[in-house]
Structure formats: structure tokens, C-alpha cells
A and B are shown apart, each in its own frame.
Chain A
């Protein structure tokens, strides 16, 4: 149901590279929130199942605006950069572009009980949004979590990546 962008081998390199200027991206869309409370809460079984599947599609899953290669929002960009800096194994990562699917875009907010995008899941557990990803990156909790969950690229992979630079 949802398109899946799997990070390329260049992920770490690109993600660690300097940020390109933001060109597009918003966190919310007022028109959508003009819907009634009832409509807002409506999360169909179909969407819920699709999101459950998406969350389980990889050990590390990021719901974001845009793609890892071309984030469409500064917060999504910051989050993907941090996952790259942490050295998340591209083979253990999946990103879902909420801009490609309105059901996903609204549904994920209700599914996670979280009002903003991006949203990070590790081992099917909701970790948080950009603020939390940044603070966990800064205080070392994210490195610890990713290490414990064994989702980081091996040193051999990382070395191979660096040689390509």
C-alpha cells in the first residue's frame, strides 16, 4: 500500500554530508485539520493494518516527508542525517514518504498518538519525533539504543563506505 524507499549504499555518506537548503516541507496541513473531530479520529482498519505492516517492515523505520535522498522538510532532513551519522545499516532501515499517501500521513499521527512528522520506530516501538531524535543523539541514548538493537552497520561496511569517498 505504501511505497517504500530503501536507503542506498550511499546513505551514510549522503546523510553525513552537509545539509542542502530546505526547499519544501511543512509539518502540518491546516486544511486537513479543519475536518471534524470525528473525521480526524477515523483510522480505518485497512490503514491501521498497512501502518502496522510498515512499522514491522524493518528494524528501523522512519515516517518522513520526502525521501532519504530528498527530504521535503527540515525536521525530516535532520532526522535522516542523524540516522546516517549514527551509522544505521541501510539494510535494516526503511523510510516511508507520508507526502505520497494522505491515509498514511493522517493515519500515522493517530496510530502513534503523535501530531508531527517525522516519526521514528525501532523494533516496532515508537521512539519519537525530531526533537527526541536530536536530544537522544546528543545525550548518547540513541547510539546505545541502536547498538543494543544491533541495527548499526558493521565496521567492515563502514570502512568500505569510507573508501569510496
Chain B
């Protein structure tokens, strides 16, 4: 299986295309153990879906990519939810960093 390089921008392009995302932010959270990314994905396709279904949609859209990297984290919002959160937090919406050590996945490959 040929593995093309996965970057913030390749993931962003894939999400924009495959999920018709209107806004995507992908951040590299690679620590010492390989490629890791976290993301904020805004798409109208999430409307009417619960959190689990949204994540399943993303996992399925990025099946091959996620299989090649070490860690993947996502926050899935509809355009309305995104706007509301931007408004209530003063523009402070972004990819989740829970479980990371200051935005990096800390660990060893095992």
C-alpha cells in the first residue's frame, strides 16, 4: 500500500472535499511518537447527527489517513454551532487538545 505523506494541508483538503466542510482547522500535535493531528471541522453534513455519528462520518472519510498516523482527534460542528461558539468565546474555537501535553502527544512508540 503506497503511503502518501500526510500533512495538515492534505487532511484539510480531504475533509473539505469529502465532508463538504466549510471551515477546517488541522493542527499537528506530533510529540515523540509519530504523526498526530487534531482538528476542528465545520460542515453542514453534521446537522441532525449526534456526536458519535459525526465522528464516525469523519473516521470513515479519513479511513486510510487515520490508519497511517498515530493519533487523531476531532471536534465536529455545524456552521451554526461554530458561529455560536465563536460568538460566545470571543473567537476562541479550535481543535481539541484534551489528552495532550500542551498540545503534543507525549509518548514512545510501542
Contact = CB atoms under 8 A, between A and B. Distances in A.
Size category of the B interface is: 20 to 34
Given A113-B56, A131-B75, A27 B1 contact: no
A10 B70 CA distance: 31
A26 B68 contact: no
A30 B55 contact: no
Contact of B74 (A72, A127, A131): A131
B105 A26 contact: yes
Contacts of A33: 67-68
Size category of the A interface is: 35 or more
B59 A114 contact: yes
Contact of A99 (B70, B74, B99, B110): B110
8 contacts: A26-B109, A28-B68, A73-B99, A73-B107, A74-B105, A131-B96, A132-B52, A135-B96
Given A27-B36, A27-B70, 17 more contacts: A21-B101, A22-B105, A25-B33, A25-B105, A26-B33, A26-B108, A28-B69, A33-B67, A34-B1, A72-B107, A74-B105, A76-B99, A115-B67, A127-B52, A128-B51, A130-B73, A134-B98
